Amino acid sequence: MKKNLWLTLMIFSLGVFILVACSGGSQETSKTDDEEKTPDSEVTEAGDDNTTLTIAMGTDIVSFDVHDHLNTSTEAVHDNMFNYLFKRDNETGEIKPELVDTYENIDETTWEFKLKEGVLFHNGDPLTTEDVKYSLERVAYDDGLRDHANYRQIKEVEIIDELNFKIITHNPEPALLNRISRIGSGILPAKYIEENGFDHFLANPVGTGPYQFVEWVRDDRIVFEPFEDYFEGKVDTWEKVVFRVIPENSTRVNELLTGGVDIAVNVPPSEWERVDANDGTSMKSETSNRTLMLFLRSTEGYPTSDVRVRQAIDYAIDNKAITENVLNGAGTTTLTRVAPGNFGFHEDLYGKYNYDLEKAKALLEEAGYPDGFEMTLHSPRGRYLQDAQVAEMVGGMLAAVGIKVNIDFLEWSNFVEMRAAKTNKDAYMLGLGNSMFDADNALDWYRSARFEGETDYKNEEVDRLLAEAVQNMDIEEREQQYKQIQEILVEEVPHIILHQESINIGISDRINYTPTMDEMLYVPTVTKK
């Protein structure tokens, strides 16, 4: 016991030393032209007063372009600045209107909507159907945007008048309301962008949400303040919200323990007891809608292009050992990334995993690799719970069957750039959520056209079933199509499903906050005690 206490104190002291030693130089490397607006000495942090909420994130946002990212941690910030037409109720799972007042499904390809009156953008412009048309058609038509694949089903937004409009789809669209309540469907200010240009918008973003933009110092902080004319009434609990970017787990936790932040995301299992034992802080956990996976190259010339090799990798990984030993139980084994609570969930594949070293070795020998082979695994560090440790454990497990894994650890921004450029090698580790809560969003990642040059997985039966299910208005038949796809994927193993994550957040005792399955950090739900 004394040894453990001494070790804990040493780790804590080292974390504080590193924090103090680095505080002077790290700011210089992240300065932007706009940083001089608010010097570091003027940034109010948690504990300085009772009007500032400070949230510590592991990674910075990707952009203020709501259509050009697929990043939940970015959307967790955007959610406070932008609104959707609809939004999912985290308590009931029901999709409810947000910017929409009334709506009606006219036929299989046409929905009619009326916007709420009196909604203003942060620059004072009223929300109109022109903004809806610009926003949804932009992401539906521009195949260069990261979220285009999820909105290409939209054919047209037809304006009736300033408040009334129709969304017309190319084909029947059973999940349209889910689609326009998720990442990529935030409504942008058309007039403001037309008058000032999109680059100006990115530097000075404007939305309709409860909080408005103050500043963004890349890799350091994002600052918001309440929007006085928010259509649901000013959210005045916090006069300032600061999202601090703190990649290092120990530093993030130390900031929570010493009162520097009110919320710290992705607290590692090794720190849970310390957070709970500390006077003034506690842990909060919730099941996430995210699964952690290894994306494998099916590209010709790579060993992983052989399905037997992919199966061997799957059988060589002891998923239960990872969730128990690395995550301290904060994960659930699964053979599918369609999680409970999502339409199309395949219960028979949940809570299971494949692990058989002898079978893995036999498959490798059958595929022509009796002595194994060498491969590269790209992994982010600090983006997901214990991601670096998980990658290292996977590497050790694969070594047991002769596969030498060279792990390429990347900062999140570099990891995103690598994927965008499609320069990935044998495999990369990625965690995917599902803000749509529908199997279409989860399984669309297996559509062959979407990942040409990146993973190159192709299965004609999967492509056919995806094309049919996405427009199938027969709900029961659609559900069976998605389950059939998942069964094929278990055999084909284009991705190794590692586990479904849980959300583990440390919070200050001065606030009330409960994390939600969608991983949003929605500030209006954070209240003072």
Give the CATH number of the domain where residue 68 resides.
3.40.190.10
Tally of structural domains, the chain = 3
- Which 3 state secondary structure label does DSSP give 357? helix
Q: Does residue 441 sit in the same domain as residue 309?
A: yes
CA distance 346 to 350: 7
Please determine, for residue 192, whether its predicted confidence score (pLDDT) is greater than 80. yes
Of the three residues 144, 166, 193, the one that is the final residue of a domain is 193
Q: Is residue 204 part of a domain?
A: no
Tens of pLDDT along 277-310?
Answer: 999 999 999 999 999 999 999 999 999 999 999 9
Strand partners, 107: 110
Q: What is the pLDDT of residue 31?
A: 33
Q: Is residue 10 part of a domain?
A: no
111 phi and psi angles, rounded to 5 deg: -120, 140
Of the three residues 193, 223, 238, the one that is the final residue of a domain is 193
Q: Is residue 31 part of a domain?
A: no
Tens of pLDDT along 78-134?
Answer: 999 999 999 999 888 899 999 999 999 999 999 999 999 999 999 999 999 999 999
Please determine, for residue 28, whether its predicted confidence score (pLDDT) is greater than 60. no
Q: Does residue 332 sit in the same domain as residue 456?
A: yes
Q: What is the pLDDT of residue 48?
A: 57
Q: Does residue 61 sit in the same domain as residue 90?
A: no
219 phi and psi angles, rounded to 5 deg: 65, 20
CA distance 184 to 142: 12
The CATH number covering residue 407 comes to 3.10.105.10
Which of the pair, 114 or 19, is modelled with greater confidence?
A: 114
Q: What is the pLDDT of residue 5?
A: 36
User: Which are the contacts of 286, defined by CB distance < 8 A and separation ≥ 6?
Assistant: 502, 503, 514, 515, 516, 517
Q: Does residue 261 sit in the same domain as residue 317?
A: no
For the chain, the 3-state helix, strand and coil shares in percent, each to the nearest 5, are 35, 25, 40
Q: What is the pLDDT of residue 50?
A: 87
Please determine, for residue 43, whether its predicted confidence score (pLDDT) is greater than 50. no
Q: Is residue 17 part of a domain?
A: no
Which of the pair, 410 or 70, is modelled with greater confidence?
A: 410
Give the residue numbers spanning the domain of 375. 289-503
Tens of pLDDT along 393-426?
Answer: 999 999 999 999 999 999 888 999 999 999 999 9
User: Which are the contacts of 340, defined by CB distance < 8 A and separation ≥ 6?
Assistant: 287, 347, 350
Tens of pLDDT along 180-190?
Answer: 998 889 999 99
Q: Is residue 9 part of a domain?
A: no
Average pLDDT across the chain, whole number? 90
Q: Does residue 310 sit in the same domain as residue 453?
A: yes
Q: Does residue 344 sit in the same domain as residue 308?
A: yes
Q: How confident is the model at residue 199 (pLDDT cuts 50, 70, 90)?
A: very high
Q: What is the pLDDT of residue 46?
A: 57
92 phi and psi angles, rounded to 5 deg: -105, -20
Pairing of strands 211-217, 154-159: unpaired
CA distance 214 to 194: 21
Q: Does residue 336 sit in the same domain as residue 418?
A: yes
DSSP strands (E only) in 160-220? 164-169, 211-217
Q: Does residue 485 sit in the same domain as residue 350?
A: yes
Q: Does residue 389 sit in the same domain as residue 487?
A: yes
CA distance 24 to 243: 19
Say which amino acid occupies 216: W
Say which amino acid occupies 241: V
pTM of the model: 0.79
Q: Is residue 19 part of a domain?
A: no
Q: Does residue 240 sit in the same domain as residue 321?
A: no
The full length of the chain comes to 529
Q: Does residue 91 sit in the same domain as residue 76?
A: no
Q: Is residue 66 part of a domain?
A: yes
Q: Is residue 201 part of a domain?
A: no
The CATH number covering residue 90 comes to 3.90.76.10
CA distance 46 to 51: 9
**CA terminus-to-terminus distance, the chain:** 35
Q: Does residue 308 sit in the same domain as residue 431?
A: yes
Q: What is the pLDDT of residue 385?
A: 87
